[in-house]
Amino acid sequence: MALITESLVTATDKKIVLLVLDGLGGLPQLPGGPTELEAATTPNLDKLAKEGVQGLLDPIGPGITPGSGPAHLSLFGYDAVEHNVGRGLLSALGGDFPLEDRDVCARGNFCSLDGSGNVTDRRAGRIATELSTPLCEKLEKDAQIEGVEIFVRPEKDHRFLLVIRGEHLSDQLEDTDSQKTGVPPLKCKPLREEAARTAKIVDEFSDKARRVLENEKQANGVLLRGFAKRLPLPTMSDRFGLRAAALADYPMYRGLARLVGMEVLSKDPDLKARFAEVKKSRDGYDFFFVHFKKTDAAGEDGNFEKKVKVIEECDAALPVLLEAKPDVLIVTGDHSTPAMMASHSWHPVPVLIHGNNVRTDDTTAFGETQASHGGLGRMPMMHLLPIALAHAGRLQKFGA
């Protein structure tokens, strides 16, 4: 199907805006109650839903809980199962690290370990970037391994990028992060024989890091996940003829956007500023991806009220985005992060499409319940982009 879509692509001057509220989908606190999105007061989103059409998207497939990487690839019209992108690669791309083909990279977390070496906090109290930056410098200086070159670069808060540069390295490795507390970080397990040497290097790095950090109170250990090498993907320009731009304040999402050939514009942490830049840059691009992280962060923290509040914050900023007069405006999430679960989930994500040639349905407000009987029905997230292209007049007729 993807190949047909690509063969039908044509150009128009219609602009598509994809606004992603990360982890938007939620769950009610009590059966029958409102989800975070439904509890939020969102007059602007509700108006768009009423004038547009709603539905539900499965990021990867029914029952599958996605990470942010594959979920965003689906949003961008890619088969995320075919193109399985490691978290480490996203971190590298987001941080503008000049990755080489031979490099293996991973997402690192500073974590807190107790006296017996068990993890007490997987995020080291979410230490601030100002505190984690000198720790990264220290690691890059003092935790080098013979035979390879080690790079440790800060990301936001407790997160960092690890890059191992050398010959004959493999990314076929399991995470050292068990996602649990009360147990020590895992030994790195090779998934294939050829990765045995790289796994040893990873373990050596983890041990050295612990020695380097031993006097730290909070951040005295490291957890590594998403080992990956560089992955060549066809760009959105190649596939869909779109000059695409990204406006995201978190490095990983910028990295993801670059991976599919988007140009990264504003990374202003203020959502309104990013919205304003869409208007400013309107003529230069066909497709704008605007990312809003706070919904996912509140969901991950299990904070229902906070998630409601940041959805309302996004809604209040929307008029600035509407000033850009997108011909096709899509609002959705990359996946669900219900505060009740304090984690990503498999529940399908509500989506609304507003604009050119939309067939309206009888829904009146943006939310999971109404979306479940909206005019779009429920479909794989990967199909969203072809629909966006259709509304923008960017797909020719198939056959006669």
Residue 70 Cβ, how far from a copy of itself at the closest point, in Å? 4
Instruction: For residues 308 and 42, give the distance between their C-alpha atoms in angstroms, rounded to a whole number.
Output: 10
Residue 339 Cβ, how far from a copy of itself at the closest point, in Å? 12
Residue 303 Cβ, how far from a copy of itself at the closest point, in Å? 17
* 284 versus 357: smaller Cβ distance to a copy of itself: 357
| Opening angle at CA 91, ends 89 and 95, nearest 5 | 120
The length of the chain is 400
| C-beta pairs of 308-316 under 8 Å, 24+ apart in sequence | 308/36, 308/39, 308/40, 309/40, 311/21, 311/24, 311/36, 311/37, 311/40, 311/42, 312/40, 312/41, 312/42, 313/271, 314/21, 314/271, 315/40, 315/41, 315/42, 315/43, 315/44, 315/45, 316/44
Residue 181 Cβ, how far from a copy of itself at the closest point, in Å? 17
* 267 versus 391: smaller Cβ distance to a copy of itself: 391
Tell me phi and psi for residue 146, to 5 degrees. Answer: -65, 135
* 276 versus 351: smaller Cβ distance to a copy of itself: 351
Residue 326 Cβ, how far from a copy of itself at the closest point, in Å? 16
* 297 versus 340: smaller Cβ distance to a copy of itself: 340
Could you tell me if 106 and 223 are in contact, meaning their C-beta atoms sit under 8 angstroms apart? no
* 56 versus 169: smaller Cβ distance to a copy of itself: 56
Closest CA to 5 of 390, 400, 392, 391: 390
* 220 versus 367: smaller Cβ distance to a copy of itself: 367
Residue 240 Cβ, how far from a copy of itself at the closest point, in Å? 11
